[in-house]
Amino acid sequence: MKKFLPAIFTLFFVIFLFLPSQKNAYAQSPTPADGSWVQDSEVTFVGKAAARSGQFLDWTLQKQNYSWAVFPNSQANPLMPFWVTIRNIAYAFIALFVLGTAFVLIITRGRNISARQIIPKFLAVILLITFSYALIQIIYQFTDVIQGFFLVSPDDPTQNISQKNLLSVAFNYKDFVGYRLVGMVNDESAFISLLLVKLTAITYYFMTMILLLRKIILWFFIVISPIFPLLILFYPIRNTAKIWIGEFFRWLLYAPIFAIFLSGLVSIWRAYIPLLGFSQFPFPGVGDPSKIVYPTAINILIGGPKQVLSLNNSVNMNDTFAQYVVALLMLWVVILLPFILLQIFLDYFMSFSFSENNIVKKVVTGYSSVFNKGIPPSPPPPLPSSKTPAGMAKALPFSEKFSIPAQKQTQIPINTSVQANSEIMHLTNLSVPTMRDIAKYETNMLSSNVLKRQEVSKVHDTLEKIASPKSVASPQTQQQYQQIRQKLVQEKQKGNPLAASILSAAGNISKEKRQKFAPSVAPSDLFEKAMYEAASQTTQLPSVNRVQTVSLDDYESVKKMWQENYQKLEPPKEIQGEEVDRKVWIQNDIDKINKAIELLTATEPTKVNEGMEMVGNILPFLLIGGFSRTEVVAYLKAKLEAGKSVLSEIKGKEEEESTTIDVTAKKEEKPKEMHLEEKQPLEPSKEQVQNIENKIEQVNHE
């Protein structure tokens, strides 16, 4: 909305400029009689302005003018020389960066970066710089094709849409002379008619200005296109490249979307505007003087789509006036709606992450399953261990202080189809959370952002409805969740681990829900039987994850995410609403995690259950993901290491600050002591004291 405020203010400013600012000049007589038509300078001015705006719009929508650029055969492309200059500058930066990278490789002997990592990136950037002009030109021309396809006039395929297909205010600019109907009873009608004409002219001018401004902006984007690959190459400014690309596509896609909406608008107007009273053309009573409500007070005849104008049909009725106003509003929607839609798209694009998107993960998984069909599944990776691996293996980010109990690893047969899992996820509207998702959910619970917390609440709400469909108010939704739970029970009986995990999470999400299925309640269907069995035993984490495999990179990602959270996230407030110091918050978290790990790694079932209660806020997500007790402990250790590292950084900074303050204080105190010593009076000697006493006695004697 902020982007449209300047446009709205500009609109009102232009309207203010167009309002009557001079007195009417009547040419026929000094005192014209009421009801007589006289020449009027304001009507002439406004009419000519409207005619000019319509002609300007027609010129802009012509094919040779809406195309991205037109270069005659005898004339060179004026954009190319400057693009070549920018390209050569980009090549120079690449050369400098290659030299710097080579120097780093020599100094570090390839420990930090390797030539195998750098060379493909350099080659890709050089290719993008070289072909940037051609690539953007092709994209620009493709959008011109789409724009041209939709801008074709429905009345004449050889012509484009023009003002004739929009609002009826067209007349000859050169020969037009404005007239006004004199009299107080006609002043209001004259003012409204002039205002509608002004608004129409402003609308046409605004449409043309936006389309021409888009072309100019895209010309400069083409000229500086060699800079885009450089921004992508350098990591610190990569986000800038994302913003630039987003703005480029905002202006690039505006014209095709505008053309689609404008073409749809004309198609709607050719039939009728779908509002009450606008179902027929011409309107009943149009042309009948006895039906006129508002008199025709100026000779600028205006009317909505598909109207034949005359002195008795120029917004003279309630319906014709309303139709013209609605038509103007529809034109403004065509102008502004592409900006709104593109802003929504860009906001999503800026926050989109390919690595964390569930759809991308499913596509990649499906792609892999298609090309790996017939290949026996590889055994799952070994479970995380506290021992440091030998050789080039990557160590887990856990403290050696804790050990994870070794468990016997077995090969898990995958006997469930991908199609069944896909159907389950579609029905429940859930996704299998990864280790990174667990950290994300836990972060959202701590966040003060309502939208982020709602994301977690939606999962809880879905699990509660699966646990107890009868608690849903809507009968239709209740039936839907009953079908979902029946499907889950059936799949669980077939040995589907995903269905079993969701049922386990649904049974654990609310103790009140589980208490409904007490042993005294007779189970009436398959799901209630499953919940009956779940109520009589404590929920346990599986010994082996049968839903997904967890990689070492997942634990590294968890540690990085929690390091970021402990550094940047606002510490949660106490129950009384008092703020908590960041260091205190992290230390409390470390103590709780240590306690939870100690309980979860215990051998007594009661202590393990107590440890599960300590992670109860994320337990439903852990159950959906099928995470084993070993993996949960590993997650907690990754979070623990993150807290310890951030806490040590905070303490280190505090020590540095205290040391700096002590040194500064000593430097400030030293000159103060010297200053005091200088002012301190010297003690007199014994001889001086004796002389003073003798003088006092002499004075007293005299």
Domain boundary among 317, 351, 385: 351
Choose among 445, 442, 434, 398: nearest CA to 601. 398
Separation of alpha carbons 291 and 301, rounded Å: 17
CB-based contact 408:479 (threshold 8 Å):
no
Separation of alpha carbons 66 and 215, rounded Å: 8
At residue 235, what is the residue type?
Answer: Y
Separation of alpha carbons 353 and 362, rounded Å: 14
pLDDT at 228: 85
Question: Is residue 611 exposed (0-12), middle (13-18) or buried (19+ Cβ within 10 Å)?
Answer: buried
Q: What angle do CA 119, 122, 126 make, to 5 degrees?
A: 140
Q: What is the pTM of this model?
A: 0.52
DSSP per position, 170-229: ---TTT---EEE-SHHHHHHHHHHHHHHHHHHHHHHHHHHHHHHHHHHHHHHHHTTTHHH
- Between 406-420, 446-460, 636-650, the lowest mean confidence (pLDDT) is in 406-420
pLDDT at 676: 41
Q: Which residue has the higher pLDDT, 259 or 444?
A: 259
323 and 437 in a single domain? The answer is no
Separation of alpha carbons 326 and 82, rounded Å: 46
The conformational region for residue 245 under phi > 0 = left, psi -120 to 50 = alpha, else beta, is alpha
For range 358-375, the mean pLDDT: 51
Separation of alpha carbons 180 and 296, rounded Å: 9
Residues in Cβ contact with 545 at an 8 Å cutoff, skipping those fewer than 6 apart: 380, 625, 626, 627, 628, 631
Neighbours of 322 (CB within 10 A): 17
Report whether the peptide linkage leading into residue 384 is cis, meaning its omega lies within 30 degrees of zero. Answer: no
Write down the mean pLDDT value for the chain: 75
Residue 193 has pLDDT above 60, yes or no: yes
Burial call 139-149: b when 16+ CB within 10 Å, e when fewer? bbeebbeebee
Evaluate whether residue 516 is within a structural domain. yes
Domain with 542 in it: 362-367+415-646
Look up residue 271 and give its two tokens: 């039939």
Residue 391 has pLDDT above 50, yes or no: no
pLDDT at 113: 64
Q: Residue 406 — pLDDT band, cuts 50, 70, 90?
A: very low
CB-based contact 125:231 (threshold 8 Å):
no
Q: Which residue has the higher pLDDT, 257 or 100?
A: 257
317 and 441 in a single domain? The answer is no
HSE at residue 225, side-chain half, CA atoms within 13 A, is: 26
Residue 478 has pLDDT above 60, yes or no: yes
Evaluate whether residue 679 is within a structural domain. no
142 and 247 in a single domain? The answer is yes
Residue 576 has pLDDT above 70, yes or no: no
Choose among 593, 597, 609: nearest CA to 633. 597
pLDDT at 31: 62
pLDDT tens digits for range 320-366? 888 899 999 999 999 999 999 988 888 777 666 555 555 555 555 55
Q: Which residue has the higher pLDDT, 64 or 133?
A: 133
- Between 252-256, 282-286, 298-302, the lowest mean confidence (pLDDT) is in 282-286
Q: Residue 582 — pLDDT band, cuts 50, 70, 90?
A: confident
Question: Is residue 37 exposed (0-12), middle (13-18) or buried (19+ Cβ within 10 Å)?
Answer: middle
pLDDT at 384: 44
Q: Which residue has the higher pLDDT, 624 or 365?
A: 624
259 and 124 in a single domain? The answer is yes
Question: Is residue 524 exposed (0-12), middle (13-18) or buried (19+ Cβ within 10 Å)?
Answer: exposed
pLDDT at 28: 45
Residues in Cβ contact with 549 at an 8 Å cutoff, skipping those fewer than 6 apart: 380, 381
Give the distance, in angstroms, between the CA of residue 151 and the centroid of all CA atoms in the same chain.
Answer: 31
Evaluate whether residue 531 is within a structural domain. yes
Residues in Cβ contact with 262 at an 8 Å cutoff, skipping those fewer than 6 apart: 150, 151, 161, 334
pLDDT at 286: 66
Q: Which SS3 state, helix, strand or coil, does residue 152 take?
A: strand
For range 651-670, the mean pLDDT: 66
Cα dihedral: 649, 650, 655, 659 (round 10)? 100
DSSP per position, 296-351: --BS---B-TT---BTTBSS-SHHHHHHHHHHHHHHHHHHHHHHHHHHHHHHHHHH
Look up residue 293 and give its two tokens: 């409500």
75 and 209 in a single domain? The answer is yes
Residue 129 has pLDDT above 70, yes or no: yes
Q: Residue 693 — pLDDT band, cuts 50, 70, 90?
A: low
Question: Is residue 265 exposed (0-12), middle (13-18) or buried (19+ Cβ within 10 Å)?
Answer: buried
Separation of alpha carbons 541 and 609, rounded Å: 10
Residue 515 has pLDDT above 50, yes or no: no
Evaluate whether residue 638 is within a structural domain. yes
Separation of alpha carbons 448 and 569, rounded Å: 9
For range 687-691, the mean pLDDT: 62
Separation of alpha carbons 21 and 211, rounded Å: 31
The DSSP symbol for 285 reads T
For range 144-155, the mean pLDDT: 88
Residue 485 has pLDDT above 70, yes or no: yes
Residue 152 has pLDDT above 50, yes or no: yes
What separation, in Å, do the N-terminal and C-terminal C-alpha atoms of the chain show? 101
Residue 253 has pLDDT above 70, yes or no: yes
41 and 167 in a single domain? The answer is yes
pLDDT at 53: 92
432 and 345 in a single domain? The answer is no
pLDDT at 520: 44
Report the percentage of the chain scoring pLDDT > 70.
70
pLDDT at 352: 61
For range 307-324, the mean pLDDT: 84
Evaluate whether residue 455 is within a structural domain. yes
Backbone angles phi and psi of 89, in degrees to 5: -65, -40
At residue 658, what is the residue type?
Answer: S
Look up residue 244 and give its two tokens: 């630039």
Angle between helix 582-600 and helix 552-568 axes, rounded to 10 deg: 150
Domain boundary among 615, 646, 677: 646
CB-based contact 453:460 (threshold 8 Å):
no
CB-based contact 516:506 (threshold 8 Å):
no
Evaluate whether residue 404 is within a structural domain. no
Look up residue 268 and give its two tokens: 């709607």
Highest mean pLDDT among 186-190, 291-295, 415-419: 186-190
Residue 94 has pLDDT above 50, yes or no: yes
Residue 408 has pLDDT above 50, yes or no: no
334 and 447 in a single domain? The answer is no
Contacts 24+ apart (CB under 8 A), 506-515: 506/463, 506/464, 506/466, 506/467, 507/467, 507/531, 507/534, 507/535, 507/539, 508/539, 508/619, 508/620, 508/623, 509/460, 509/463, 509/464, 509/467, 509/620, 510/464, 510/467, 513/464, 513/467, 513/468, 514/467
Neighbours of 198 (CB within 10 A): 19
Q: Which SS3 state, helix, strand or coil, does residue 454 take?
A: helix
Look up residue 361 and give its two tokens: 């993960």
Residue 177 has pLDDT above 60, yes or no: yes
Q: Which residue has the higher pLDDT, 638 or 521?
A: 638
Evaluate whether residue 451 is within a structural domain. yes
Residue 22 has pLDDT above 60, yes or no: no
How many independent structural domains does the chain possess?
A: 2
CB-based contact 245:228 (threshold 8 Å):
yes
Choose among 10, 45, 7: nearest CA to 24. 45
Q: Which residue has the higher pLDDT, 273 or 533?
A: 273
pLDDT tens digits for range 516-541? 444 444 444 555 555 545 445 456 78
Evaluate whether residue 111 is within a structural domain. yes
Q: Residue 67 — pLDDT band, cuts 50, 70, 90?
A: confident
Domain boundary among 612, 646, 680: 646
Distances in Å between the Cα of 431 and the Cα atoms of 380, 425, 443, 466, 702 are: 21, 6, 18, 15, 114
Separation of alpha carbons 1 and 458, rounded Å: 28
- Between 261-270, 345-354, 624-633, the lowest mean confidence (pLDDT) is in 345-354
Q: Which SS3 state, helix, strand or coil, does residue 160 take?
A: strand
Residue 229 has pLDDT above 90, yes or no: no
199 and 282 in a single domain? The answer is yes
109 and 253 in a single domain? The answer is yes
Residue 679 has pLDDT above 50, yes or no: no
159 and 299 in a single domain? The answer is yes
Separation of alpha carbons 605 and 69, rounded Å: 75
433 and 318 in a single domain? The answer is no
- Between 493-507, 603-617, 665-679, the lowest mean confidence (pLDDT) is in 665-679
Which contiguous run of DSSP H or E holds residue 135? helix 132-150
